[in-house]
Amino acid sequence: MAWLVSDARVFASAEIAENRSDRRRGLLGRTHLEGALVIRPCRAVHTLGMKFPIDVAFVDADGVVMKTLQMSRHRIGLPVRHAQIVIEAQAGAFDRWGLRVGDVIEVRDQDH
């Protein structure tokens, strides 16, 4: 587990999907998500077979949020050039957190 942090703000707790199996599974089979899922490396996502819509943020190698969007269920997203990390959250979470394009995000281990 980790925290999503920007400046001094903690947005949410986060699960990390770094191995191929975890990245492929993503949020499939879940009915909701508390916090966020960080997928790395990643440039594109889909919501085929998902049970709920999601907010998606594409983040570059410097941690800058390049693009955000909300994806309905059963959609295929286009790759985002230069994205290194994708952050997924239940639809509406980014508005609640105040997450915006241009924010610098750090994925920080909860041990720190």
> What are the structure tokens assigned to 92, written together?
């509406």
What are the tens digits of pLDDT across the range 12-31?
Answer: 999 999 989 988 888 988 99
Q: Into how many domains does the chain fold?
A: 1
> What are the structure tokens assigned to 48, written together?
């085929």
| Residue 109 scores a pLDDT above 90 | no
What are the tens digits of pLDDT across the range 28-87?
Answer: 889 999 999 999 999 999 999 999 999 999 999 999 999 999 999 999 999 999 999 999
Domain that holds residue 53: 2-109
**Inter-residue contact 5 to 97 (CB < 8 Å):** no
> What are the structure tokens assigned to 74, written together?
């059963």
Q: How far is the C-alpha of 15 from the C-alpha of 1, rounded, in Å?
A: 5
- Taking the chain, what is the end-to-end CA distance rounded to the nearest angstrom? 11
**Inter-residue contact 40 to 16 (CB < 8 Å):** yes
**Inter-residue contact 89 to 54 (CB < 8 Å):** yes
16: CATH: 2.60.120.1140
